[in-house]
Chains A and B, each alone.
Chain A
């Protein structure tokens, strides 16, 4: 077919046609350059970024080891807990979602918004930001039912530490809580939201309990969904920790001290193992696991009875007359006194121009060493201390484990204090005065010891002079730190005196016919009394001025020996308050005492009836 045509009637605008061509050319050049820049010039960089997008190394959590008592009763376990996470990238309306979450769980929306704000920088893109750490089951069900309508919400299963014994053992176990920035920085294995030991054995045995995380490589999509995974390193579960604590005994001791502020320690002298370690008042360590609410924390911190403090290791008190055991040992070991030497006690001892009184008006008459211990004569030890001098006393006490930490596996142990001339110079810039030596000789003044130090010293006296490291872990081998600088014969003299103290001294309440019982009481003054004559009855004094009541004891039955140390803060008189309490501990250990206990075991309290002697003068 032949076309017959005419030329177009129009001439398209020349400049317009040039414009069209120029635009096409410009378009081609612009995008070619840009494609070259992105794909060829920087292609390698972007390829790496795509790979980073796609492959992630993810840590696999390891189960934290349990803590068990010596019979295998679980004391700390890990339970699954359900947390609510928010993947911000998937969430279309963060504000609306938070409002819903607040409605479901009752958590204030401002708190949730704060959490999101805080997590903004620390949580990686596409990782769930934990909004609520532990969802109660009702809330969990409500969220599961509705979560599909709110993309971005995710239930995260995590492990939560649970302490079935709660307040019973919180000072020993401590607790775990969310790792803070410092801890996260120190340990690259930790990720945000992980729990770490913060106190107690959970802290000191953190590495064994935690085990180690595994690593896996996962291919994830933009929604964080995992597609393929490949384990690079399997996780290693944390080891279980078996304690020497007997939870039954712990419970009994805790019950005995209930309502008081004080410490109770039961040890096995041969091994240094601790069977019970009670500090009252206590707190529920479960409360810390999910973060203590600010008001609860303030309440704990500001409580005048300091429930958080572990009084066994962190409470340091003047030991009072319990210190006379060490004084006697120092006198014997340094050759300043022999067991048979008789010393007169006129009831007052003059140093310089100052009078130091005995607790007993008129004095004890003449006493040998055993008598001085049994009746807790102050004058005898004033004289002994005066002759020893503070520096010799200091060196001997330190060699016997005072004034230094025992090295127990618990954090923040206090060393206590044994003063010396040098110490006073450094601390106060003043010279030592002889009167201070006299005061220190009966465990007052600057002298401070923890119940644990007393228990350890007593154990060493009983076990043949071995100063052991106090152990809480059953599987740790007993460790002898040092030998007491004391001859076996001299040691026996002190042990015998302690037995006599139970038989006819200040610790009669411990007496039982089926066991060898021994003890030493102490009544430590809290307020400096200028004049011993104005001692008042305990129940007439304000609580915080009352004396601390000590009882350091050991008992042996059927070849089993235990050391029990009891301190009741502001309890008043040592033998009177601590005695019946410690007696009950032995009843748990040895079984009920046969027959009626000796009358003296239960002296009537001062308020009821008139005892033969003023109870405040029963002596320590």
Chain B
């Protein structure tokens, strides 16, 4: 397939630049979060350099995502969903148990998380199905899309990986709202949801209930579930207006902050860079999200628009849930913050999704031949 050089000029360079900036901030912050003080010495754990390597791997995935026309993504959507579903079932049967959850599939000395691929596959499929037509969704359409995505999400949830499963479901829900619901459907759901959501309480595991209760009263279990919330708020709050300075965060260096290089990494950032740094990071994220909006708006076809919107929701929910948790306004759910939290699979998935949107953005024009 010929690669038209004119594509380069159409690329959403803002998106690329913002991705690079967020990733840079993330690595810098991980450098600080990797430090443990022992006496006067600062001992480094190798998270930041490993993250760099993951970033390079992600970059190659990004590049791989732009070389073909994204229309082929619609072609592989179904096969990808079916094969990852099979893998998810395999994980349940013979997966490696890490930290009480079966998420990993050993693949010749290399553990592999099918749920990460499942997210992408479901995003592609949802975008493909929803972009077929443009009118608002009726009951039947809604049932159809849910019938496809629910089983995959459930497979992820039973691993158990509530965070990722929730992320996938919310992503699909976001895309449904992006297309819009038909009047009666919307009205019915607007009434039903506030009634049905509290019923979900009874399906939660005790530890999950505990996390939600702890959100409202962290002192309820100050050394257990509440400990994360309390220490995280102390870290962020003590950063005050200007922060304690790079590598100077006492909460993180003295290990009061748990999970400081993964789920709570942004607390390290807020402790060291203060309110000002926090606002800057938040602004970066918002500008980053707006690039998906721009791409979705200008895409040449509906599938491209839905792809960009899907990626928007993918990142949006992660940012909302992770920062909400770290800032103490949402329950503790294990969802990482894109580009800021350490994580190999997540980094590769993030870059891949950005790559898909870059692809959509650069092919937003139909070029005349010759």
Chain B 271-291 residues near chain A, CB threshold 8 A: 274-275, 278-279, 282-283, 285-286, 289-290
Q: How far is the CB of B101 from chain A (nearest CB, A)?
A: 16
Check if A220 sits within 8 Å of B254, measured CB to CB: yes
Q: 1/0 per residue A18-50: CB within 8 Å of B?
A: 011101100110111011101110111111011
Nearest-neighbour CB distance to chain B for A42, whole angstroms, equals: 6
Give chain A nearest CB distance to B299 CB in angstroms.
7
| Chain A nearest CB, measured from B322 CB (Å) | 11
> In the complex, are the beta carbons of A88 and B223 less than 8 A apart?
yes
> In the complex, what residues of B have CB within 8 A of residue A8's CB?
298-301, 364
CB atoms of B300 and A9 under 8 A apart: yes
The answer to whether A221 touches B37 (Cβ under 8 A) is: yes
Question: Looking across the interface, which residue of chain A has its beta carbon closest to that of B175?
Answer: A16
| Closest B residue to A5 using CB positions | B365
Output the nearest chain A residue to B302 by Cβ-Cβ distance.
Answer: A10
B178 touches A20 (CB 8 A): yes
Instruction: Give the CA-CA distance A5 to B368 in the complex, in Å.
Output: 7
User: Looking at the complex, which one of B241, B257, B292, B316 makes contact with A27 (CB distance below 8 Å)?
Assistant: B316
Q: What band does the interface of chain B fall in when counting residues whose beta carbon is under 8 Å from A?
A: 35 or more
Contact B292 A20 (CB under 8 A): yes
Residues of A within 8 A of B365 (CB): 3, 5-6
Binds A, one of B15-23, B86-94, B231-239: B231-239
B256: nearest chain-A partner, CB-CB: A222
Minimum CB distance partner of B37 in chain A: A227
Chain B 91-107 residues near chain A, CB threshold 8 A = none
Option from B40, B240, B316, B364 in Cβ contact (under 8 Å) with A44 = B240
- B367 part of interface (Cβ distance < 8 Å): yes
**Are B223 and A17 neighbours in the complex by a CB distance under 8 Å?**
no
- In the bound complex, CA of A51 to CA of B240 (Å): 13
Give A244 to B233 CA distance when docked, in angstroms. 62
Q: A6-B366, A6-B368 are in contact. Are A16 and B299 (CB under 8 A)?
A: no
- A106 beta carbon closer than 8 Å to chain B: no
* B300→A54 contact, CB < 8 A: no
Task: State the majority secondary structure of interface residues on A.
Answer: helix
In Å, the complex CA distance between A51 and B250 comes to 8
| A234 contacts chain B at the CB level, 8 A cutoff | no
B38 interface neighbour in A28, A35, A36, A227, Cβ under 8 Å: A227
Is A558 positioned at the interface, with any CB of B under 8 Å from its CB?
A: no
In the complex, are the beta carbons of A23 and B316 less than 8 A apart?
Answer: yes
Q: Which of A3, A16, A220, A221 contacts B180 (CB 8 A)?
A: A16
CA distance A39 to B328 in the complex (A): 13
Please state if B309 and A39 are interface contacts (CB–CB under 8 Å): no
Bound-state Cα–Cα, A225 to B41, Å: 13
CA distance A157 to B365 in the complex (A): 76
Q: Mark B222-261, 1 if CB is under 8 A from A, else 0.
A: 1100010001011111111100000000110111110000
Closest Cβ neighbor of B316 among chain A residues = A23
Q: Does A302 contact B (CB under 8 A)?
A: no
What's the Cα separation between A40 and B277 when bound, in Å? 13
B351 CB–A CB distance under 8 Å: no
Q: Are B312 and A27 in contact (CB under 8 A)?
A: no
Is B78 interfacial (CB 8 A cutoff)?
no
CA distance A222 to B329 in the complex (A): 24
Contact A5 B366 (CB under 8 A): yes
Interface size on A, residues (CB 8 A): 52
Considering the complex, give the chain B residue whose CB is closest to the CB of A21: B293
Indicate if B73 sits at the interface (CB-CB under 8 A): no
Residue A607, interface by CB 8 Å: no
Which chain A residues lie closer than 8 Å to B278 at the CB level?
A: 31, 35, 39
Q: How far is the CA of A150 from the CA of B328 in the complex (A)?
A: 31
B67 at the interface (CB under 8 A from A): no
- Distance A34 CA – B270 CA, assembled complex (angstroms): 12
B122 interface hit (Cβ, 8 Å) = no
A42/B180 in contact, CB under 8 A: no
Query: Nearest chain-A residue to B298 (Cβ)?
Result: A8
**How many angstroms between the C-alpha atoms of A31 and B309 in the bound complex?**
22
In the complex, whether B335 has a CB less than 8 A from a CB of chain A is no
Given A20-B293, A21-B293, A27-B286, are A13 and B134 also a contact pair (CB < 8 Å)? yes
Tell whether, in the assembled complex, residue B309 and residue A50 are in contact, meaning their CB atoms are under 8 Å apart: no
Chain A residues with CB below 8 A from B290, complex form: 21, 24
Q: Mark A162-180, 1 if CB is under 8 A from B, else 0.
A: 0000000000000000000
Q: Which residues of A contact B62 (CB under 8 A)?
A: none
User: Which residues of chain B have C-beta atoms less than 8 A from A6's C-beta?
Assistant: 365-366, 368
CA distance A5 to B328 in the complex (A): 48
In the complex the two chains form, is B301's CB within 8 Å of A50's CB? no
Chain B residues numbered 332-370 whose CB sits less than 8 Å from any CB in chain A: 364-368
Complex Cα distance A44/B231, Å?
Answer: 15
Most buried by A among B231, B282, B312: B282
List 16 A-B residue pairs with CB atoms under 8 Å apart, sorted by A's residue number.
A1-B6, A3-B9, A8-B300, A9-B301, A11-B134, A12-B305, A13-B178, A16-B309, A31-B327, A35-B327, A36-B275, A44-B240, A46-B234, A53-B234, A88-B223, A89-B227
Since A32-B279, A50-B256, A227-B38 are in contact, a sample of 8 more A-B pairs with Cβ atoms closer than 8 Å, ordered by chain A residue number, is: A5-B367, A12-B296, A39-B237, A39-B241, A39-B275, A43-B275, A50-B250, A221-B253
Binding site for A on B (CB under 8 A): 5-6, 9-10, 36-40, 134, 177-180, 222-223, 227, 231, 233-241, 250-251, 253-257, 270, 274-275, 278-279, 282-283, 285-286, 289-290, 292-293, 296-302, 305, 309, 312, 316, 319-320, 323, 327-329, 364-368
Which 3 pairs across A and B sit closest by C-beta, in order of nearness? A46-B237, A43-B240, A16-B178
